[in-house]
Amino acid sequence: MFKTKVSADSKADLLNKSKSQRESREKDKKFSAAAFVIQRHWRRHNSNVKLRCKILADFNELVSKEKYNSVDLFHAFKNVLFIKKLRSDSDVLYKICSAILTSTTSDSKAKWYYSLAISKHSKDWLSQVNTLVALFMDDILSSTDILAVKTAAVSYLTLIRLLCSVEQWKVYQVVQGNELVRTVLERLSETFYTHAISSGLLTALKHLLDKNLARVESSLSPSEMELISELLHLVLVHSRFNEDIWLAMYLSVMATPCLVNRLTPPHREVITYSVNMLTALVSLNIHSNKIISVLSKDELLFLILNVIHLLHEGLRNEQIIHYPEVVDVVHKFLRAASSTTGKASHWHPILGLCETAVSIQLANSVKQLTKQIALLHSRLIKKFFFQDLLEAEFPKDKPLSWKTFFTSHIQSESKLLRHVSKICAFYYTAITTFEKYKTDILMSLCCLPDFLTSLWNLVYTEYSQSSKTLARSMAQQDTVNPDPFVPVLVLFCSCFSQYFIVLSDEEIYEKEQPFSLRDLITIAGFVNGMLFNVLWNNYDNLHNHQAAVDRINICHGLLVLLHERDQRRSFIPNAKFWTPKDASPTAILAELKSSGGKGRSQKVADYIPWIFPQKRKMEYLHSIIKQDKSLCRDDHQKTVLIKIHRRRLFEDGLNHLKHLADDVLKHQLKIMFINELGLEEAGIDQDGVLKEFLEETIKHGLDPSFGLFVVTEENQWHYPSPLSKIHLEYVELFYYLGRIIGKAVYEGITIDVNFAPFFIRQVLHNKNALFSYLDELPSLDSELYKNLTFVKTYDGNVEDLGLTFSVDENEFGKMVTYELIPGGSVTTVTNANKISYIHQVAHYKMYTQIQTQTKAFVAGFKAIINDTWLGMFSLPEIQKLISGDISDIDLQELKRHARYLGGYHTGHRVITWFWDVCINEFTEQEKSLLLKFVTSCSKPPLLGFGAMSPPFSIRAVDESDDGTDDNLTPGRVIRSSFKSFLGIQGSNSQGNTRLPTASTCFNLLKLPVYNKKSILREKLRYSNSVEKLRYAINSSFGFELS
């Protein structure tokens, strides 16, 4: 034999081949094992499917033929329950439920499924029923499209209702004589109820209701709602005040939107147990924090409104309800629903701005929720809440001084105060939470007979502490030793503020409704004193607590209304009344100046500025402006010179000044006029040329023929013309005029114009005060006011008048209809909404139709005059800032501050005659005309003639004076230049005929030197000179520019 040598490569190949074959055999073994496992599982699955199909087929055959007895059903259900994935098989569960329901209606005892409860299968039957109930609840809760399984869900709930209502079991009726069996069945029914609750019955009900009720139209039929009502009834009956069940009830079903709204008669069996629910709510006070933490804000809102609805239904059914505790709990929920901790960036149709997006349930239920909110001011709830207050007897003869209280009465009525305080606190939270419905709630409370007077009597007679103690309570947080008096006072101020704006002068002053003038004086004094003590003595507390600030703002709103009404038509005995005895205006102003407009002194100035005398306020304003001028002029030294053509004065001013910054316009503006020949007028602006420019610009802009402003017929008050939009750039024009008038006020230049009070009010704009434009309407359109008053007092059906919430306006010969509210042209005015209608019309006439123009004007005005500077001024005082004081003209003061030029001096005979005539012989009208003749304004400056700039001056003009002077002083050169430019010539024959003239831009009177050669001729010339002066000022002849 020959030996063959095996190479190393061949050996390696052999080993690899062996390994590969071995791995292949192992793989085949694994494949065989896997195939065996797969086949085993497949056979098992196939067997399970066949078994499942057979069980279901047998079950379907059984229930379809209805040839079964209760035992057959029991075993069929038992087999079905062993099938996997039954929880997702809604069809099978529905068939099981239907089969059980069918068996209960059968006349054959053998088919009664309930009969197994007393058979040998009772234990397994009970377990089976509990399992089915749990599966039914899971099927409802797991459904994403509840509408698709609504039929099955209703069947499940019907079965549960039967299970929990043992008296409806036929087997229960059959065994009437066997008390032992009946007791067993009753206990089984209780067991089913408990198991249904633990399996999520209440949560399932909420799920069903949320999906079907939270829509514009409910998808649940009346019979289905009746079923739900009966289930809630059963929960209430079987609960026996179990707190866990009540808590679950409030965390689920009661947090469903508009639940009670949907349960309308005759499906409101649950309402008969509203007392139980409310009583349970009281017991749940200890769980209120858990409810607040678990429920979303929308769900908490649903809960609150459902409870309020239940309360209303309980009252309607004349059930006795102990509501103070209920109010406490609901009030706590309401505060939680309205609280915000982050940035409110979403609009909530009920709560306004909120932190989270609105749920679909709420979005679809707004209309129904609004109806529930309206129950807060329903007659039943109002009367029930405030019944004790309205029935209380208060002293009738109250002293005028609010500091006199009835200590003996307080002891017996302190319980009433605490009781009413809770209700008032609840309503205050309600109006702050439901801001959109605030007016409706407050006005409805005011319409409750004797409500306002009773509430004020409680305020007046109950509070025995000093105003300083009350101020401390008002400035505290609600949680810090709450004073029961505070909510009462705040709600009174809220209600009376809302009601006061709709009262006419006749109702207040003649009829004295709802309060006498004596009571109004008392209310004003009480609130005024309290407010001052809060602001002055408790500023630190107030500064740190927004809730306290909100309360103070409400009280301040009422006080502003009372003060403004007194300003328009006085009912307060004397002006010092508005200054509290503890207040020292001088000290407050001194602190205001030293603090730089910060701290408590600024708060006092903002809230109750009427404590300061008018002159002090004017002096303070001028000191602020003087300081502002010095600061800005230090920063900006460069002067801006504007050249204005006299023939295009308004247009040039607009084109030049609209590009200037506010600071430049205030501090660095100089004017140079260009005459008709195109030459620069030789003039040095010693505030005189600027004054002339401002006066002429304002005169042109306010001229009704220009189209921006119109005047009222009766008082000749200026206000923006609704038709001013005929100017393409009317907004810019109003802004420009606002800046120009602001500049005039800034420079202390008064203009002879009276703005309408309703227009000035927009400049003042007190954010805390309500205002009724109806009060000011007579000044605009007395005929319209009479017509609206007729509508207000009309005893018949207002619908017969054919009015709608719209107005027709004649705009350039074309009638245009404007709606007062959305859809106003088709909204009929009725007896119920006529008050709203007349106020809407007044608001439209005096605000809405000139809103754009007014905003532009106010923006321009406040660009020059800082808004904070105006805070301490009342409406009449703003008018005086613009046009001067309306008091009598004190010519003695003018004489003391007069300056004399051209040879005149205080002892000059002409000057002596002049002052003697003006002071002793002129009427008030002639004095006013003299002032207008010289200064262009018929009213004296607010700070007196000593503050007039330029100062009032009288210059001598004799027969030969042609405007020149041998003594060529700079001032004489300027005056001579003006007179030369205007062609004014002197003549020896002018001495007896020449009229006085004036340069209003310099407040300069040019008085001729009238010579008198004898006593007789002196008297005659004296008389003649008087007539000349009178003729000049009355006819305005002799006015000349210099």
Catalytically active residues, by annotation? 1001
Q: Going by C-beta distance under 8 Å and a sequence separation of 6 or more, which residues neighbour residue 737?
A: 697, 698, 701, 702, 708, 857, 860
Phi, psi of 812 (to 5 degrees): 55, 45
Q: What stretch of H or E contains 673?
A: strand 669-674
CA distances from 992 to 546, 620, 921, 996, 1007 (A): 74, 47, 21, 11, 12
Contact of 806 with 817, CB cutoff 8 Å: yes
DSSP 486-510: HHHHHHHHHHHHHHHTT--HIIIII
DSSP 906-930: TT-HHHHHHHHHHHHT--HHHHHHH
Residue 491 to residue 485: CA distance in whole angstroms: 10
Q: Map residue 873 onto helix, strand or coil.
A: coil
Contact of 710 with 704, CB cutoff 8 Å: yes
Closest by CA position to 155, among listed 208, 198, 94, 200: 94
Task: Give the CA dihedral 24, 25, 29, 30, nearest 10 degrees.
Answer: -30
Residue 310 to residue 380: CA distance in whole angstroms: 12
Q: Are strands 814-819 and 953-957 parallel, antiparallel or unpaired?
A: unpaired
Q: Going by C-beta distance under 8 Å and a sequence separation of 6 or more, which residues neighbour residue 54?
A: none
Contact of 213 with 262, CB cutoff 8 Å: yes
Residue 608 to residue 599: CA distance in whole angstroms: 14
Closest by CA position to 804, among listed 779, 822, 829: 829
Residue 921 to residue 969: CA distance in whole angstroms: 36
Question: What is the three-state SS of 811-834?
Answer: ECCEEEEEECCCCHHHCECCCCCH
Is 606 exposed, middle or buried, given 0-12, 13-18 or 19+ CB atoms closer than 10 A? middle
Closest by CA position to 393, among listed 444, 323, 453, 483: 453
Q: At residue 769, what is the residue type?
A: A
Determine the distance from the C-alpha atom of residue 986 to the mean position of all C-alpha atoms in its chain, rounded to a whole number: 68
Closest by CA position to 811, among listed 728, 721, 730, 733: 721
Write the DSSP symbol of residue 1005: E
Contact of 118 with 185, CB cutoff 8 Å: yes
Buried b (16+ CB within 10 A) or exposed e, 368-387: bbbebbebbbbeebbebbbe
Contact of 461 with 527, CB cutoff 8 Å: no
Contact of 319 with 274, CB cutoff 8 Å: yes
Contact of 788 with 841, CB cutoff 8 Å: yes
Please, what is the Cα angle at 947 between 946 and 948, to 5 degrees?
A: 95
CA distances from 904 to 423, 891, 955, 998, 1008 (A): 77, 18, 7, 16, 10
Query: Looking at 554-606, which runs of residues are DSSP E strands?
Result: none
Contact of 470 with 537, CB cutoff 8 Å: no
Phi, psi of 899 (to 5 degrees): -115, 150
